[in-house]
Every structure is written in structure tokens, then in C-alpha cells.
């Protein structure tokens, strides 16, 4: 199948829309938490950041929709906006339901260059999801929170996986329609936007640290990272990414750069002595801040 063709557009739009599963946050099976579990949930510092990220995503999509002339593409992107809004409602409901303290800092307004903002958002989702896949699996294995909570968060990750597959196909389709569909250009384009995504991620970590001085510490992170080295974390991210991507049609594009870089990093770690898990946990705290 030719990237940028009508059949390509039909495939990535239809597969995205047909896999939609409506979600009402108030109807989900929210568990009653023990005091220690509730405290652990409340101490995680990034819930407000997650809420604002979803609200900002919805606003960017709403602003971008009038720029899309193709009816099928517009319907698919509109559905993505609806799902981001549902995710925002989920985080808001969870924050209220479990009395999680937030600062009330409002989400940022969409920037003037809305197409670039939408593309930034898409690459940011790709980065967040790749890291989130691994951290989610590790946290679940460690029983950091009750299993019903992970069932709810897994619904979010399923949607995010669908979003990033739709996004990488959409952006490749867009580039091809503008005469810039070569593999070399797409790779350079991805590198540029992933650099921007990493810069945004570091900004999120800084904000979480400033706003939550007594929040999620290295000790808390070690609850589910105990015994995991950097290479084990990267391996888990790769395994979970491959598992989640395997359900999609083989003809659809999937994010490639992050897995390639992760495999290269994994190979590089074999050249150095193994670090103690305790030391590794200290270095992984900033990564965990951006889960979700």
C-alpha cells in the first residue's frame, strides 16, 4: 500500500474510528482504597499535569478541526478530540473522587500555529506512551496500586496506542500530500519533533518538582522499580510497545524511531558494568514523573 494514497487514508481512519470504545468515567469500577493505597495515589505529583495535558489536547484538536477539509480525516480527528475530552473527565473525576490535591493551575491556551501544536502533541503522545508502556507494566507487576486501578488506566493506554498509530499515519499522509513523503524526510521530521517532545517532557518534570516539593520521592518510586535496572526498564518498554502494536494491521505505520533508539541504548548498556538497583531507582524518578 502506498503511503499517502486514498487506500492508506481509508485504512488508518477507518481502523481508528471502528476501534472506538465509549467511556463514561463515572461508570467505571473505581475501587475503595485502603489508607496506605490512597496516600500512595495522592502523593503521585503528575495528576494535575495529566489532566491539563488532556484538556490542552482537546483544545488543540478543536482549534485544528476547521483547517481539515477532508471529511473522513476531519471525522477521525474529531473522534480523537472526543476521546481526549473523555480522558480529561476521567482525570478530573479521579482527582475529586480520591481527594487528590491540585493547585488549580489552568491549562494553557492553544498557540497561534495550531498545526505545529497538533503535531507537537502527537509526537509528545508517542514519547509519553512508549515510556508509559514500560512503567505501567512494572507498576502493575509490583501491585503499586490495586488491580482495578490498573484496569482503568489500561483503558487509557489502549486509547493512547490507537492515537499514536493514527497520528504517525496521518502525519505521513500529510507529508506525502505535500510532496515530502520520502523516508529520509519523514525520519528527519520525526527526529526534529521528538527533540521538541523531550524538551517538553523535561519541562513537565521541572514543574512537577517545583509544585510537589514533598511529593513522589525516590523511596516511593522504588516501591515498583526495586530490582529493575535501566536496561530492564528499556527492555520492558520495548516488549510492551511491541505487544500493544501487534494488534494493528500490518500495513499501518507504527512509531519506529523510539524503539530503534531504545534498542541501541540497550545494546550500549551491555558495554558498561551493571549498576545497583538502588542507584538506578534514584535516576529513574524523573522518568516516572511523566507517566501518563
Q: Sorting pLDDT into bands at 50, 70 and 90, what band is 275?
A: low
Asked whether the predicted pLDDT for residue 87 surpasses 90, the reply is yes
Task: Work out the percent of the chain whose per-residue pLDDT is above 70.
Answer: 83
- Of residues 189 and 7, more confidence is placed in 7
149 touches 91 (CB < 8 A) = no
Higher pLDDT, 114 or 195: 114
Which cell goes with 195? 527533540
pLDDT at res. 272: 65
pLDDT in tens, 30-42: 999 999 999 989 9
pLDDT band of 21, cuts 50, 70, 90: very high
**Which of 221, 216, 218, 201 shows the shortest CA–CA distance to 138?**
221
Nearest-angstrom CA–CA distance, 230 and 123: 23
Task: Give the pLDDT score at 221.
Answer: 47
Q: Which of 23, 29, 287, 289 is nearest to 147 (CA)?
A: 29
Mean pLDDT of 88-101: 96
**Other Cβ atoms closer than 10 A to 13:** 23
Query: What is the structure's pLDDT at 111?
Result: 84
Distance in angstroms (rounded) separating the CA atoms of residues 99 and 128? 25
What is the pLDDT averaged over residues 45-62?
90
**Distance, CA of 161 to CA of 288 (rounded, Å):** 19
> Average model confidence (pLDDT) for the chain?
84
Which pLDDT does position 189 carry in this prediction? 74
Per-residue confidence band for 268, with pLDDT thresholds at 50, 70 and 90: confident
pLDDT per residue over 218-247, tens digit each? Answer: 444 455 566 667 788 889 999 999 999 999
3-state secondary structure the chain: CCCCCHHHHHHHHHHHHHCCCCCCHHHCCCCCCCHHHHHHHHHCCCHHHHHHHHHHHHHHHHHHHHHCCCHHHHHHHHHHHHHHHHHHHHHHHHHHHCCCCCCCCCCCCCCCCHHHHHHHHHHHHHHHHHHHHHHHHHHHHCCCCCHHHHHHHHHHHHHHHHHHHHHHHHHHHHHHHCCCCCHHHHHHHHHHHHHHHHHHHHHHHHHHHHHCCCCCCHHHHHHHHCCCCHHHHHHHHHHHHHHHHCCCCCCCCCCCHHHHHHHHHHHHHCCCCCCCHHHHHHHHHHHHCCCC
**pLDDT tens readout for residues 98-131:** 999 988 778 888 888 999 899 999 998 999 999 9
Q: What angle do CA 44, 160, 138 make, to 5 degrees?
A: 50
Cell for 231? 536496561
pLDDT tens readout for residues 128-166: 999 999 989 998 998 889 999 999 999 999 999 999 999
Residue 228 cell numbers, joined: 529493575
Neighbours of 84 (CB within 10 A): 25
**Mean per-residue pLDDT for 75-87?**
96
Question: Stretch 163-188: mean pLDDT, rounded?
Answer: 85
Q: Quick one: pLDDT at residue 280?
A: 46
CA distance readout (Å), 266 to 51, 197, 237: 32, 21, 11
pTM: 0.83
pLDDT of 181 reads 61
Amino acid at each position: 500500500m502506498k503511503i499517502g494514497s486514498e487506500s492508506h487514508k481509508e485504512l488508518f481512519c477507518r481502523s481508528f474510528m471502528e476501534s472506538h470504545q465509549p467511556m463514561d468515567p463515572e461508570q467505571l469500577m473505581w475501587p475503595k482504597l485502603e489508607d496506605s493505597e490512597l496516600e500512595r495515589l495522592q502523593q503521585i505529583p503528575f495528576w494535575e499535569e495529566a489532566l491539563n495535558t488532556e484538556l490542552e489536547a482537546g483544545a488543540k484538536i478543536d482549534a485544528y478541526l476547521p483547517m481539515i477539509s477532508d471529511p473522513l480525516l476531519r471525522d477521525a480527528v474529531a473522534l480523537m478530540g472526543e476521546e481526549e475530552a473523555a480522558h480529561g473527565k476521567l482525570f478530573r473525576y479521579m482527582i475529586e473522587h480520591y481527594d487528590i490535591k491540585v493547585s488549580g493551575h489552568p491549562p494553557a491556551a492553544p498557540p497561534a500555529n495550531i498545526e505545529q501544536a497538533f503535531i507537537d502533541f502527537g509526537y509528545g503522545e508517542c514519547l509519553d506512551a512508549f515510556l508509559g508502556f514500560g512503567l505501567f507494566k512494572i507498576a502493575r507487576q509490583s501491585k503499586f496500586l490495586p488491580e482495578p486501578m490498573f484496569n482503568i488506566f489500561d483503558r487509557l493506554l489502549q486509547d493512547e496506542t490507537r492515537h499514536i498509530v493514527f497520528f504517525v499515519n496521518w502525519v505521513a499522509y500529510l507529508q506525502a500530500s505535500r510532496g515530502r513523503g520520502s523516508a529520509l524526510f519523514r525520519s528527519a521530521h520525526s527526529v526534529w519533533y521528538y527533540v521538541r517532545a523531550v524538551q517538553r517532557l523535561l519541562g513537565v518534570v521541572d514543574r512537577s518538582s517545583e509544585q510537589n516539593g514533598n511529593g513522589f520521592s525516590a523511596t516511593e518510586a522504588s516501591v515498583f522499580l526495586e530490582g529493575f535496572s535501566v536496561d530492564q526498564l528499556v527492555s520492558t518498554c520495548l516488549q510492551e510497545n511491541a505487544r500493544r502494536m501487534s494488534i494493528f494491521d500490518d500495513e499501518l505505520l507504527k512509531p519506529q524511531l523510539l524503539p530503534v533508539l531504545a534498542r541501541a541504548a540497550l545494546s550500549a548498556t551491555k558495554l558498561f558494568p551493571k549498576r545497583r538497583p538502588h542507584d538506578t531507582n534514584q535516576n529513574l524518578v524523573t522518568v516516572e514523573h511523566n507517566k501518563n
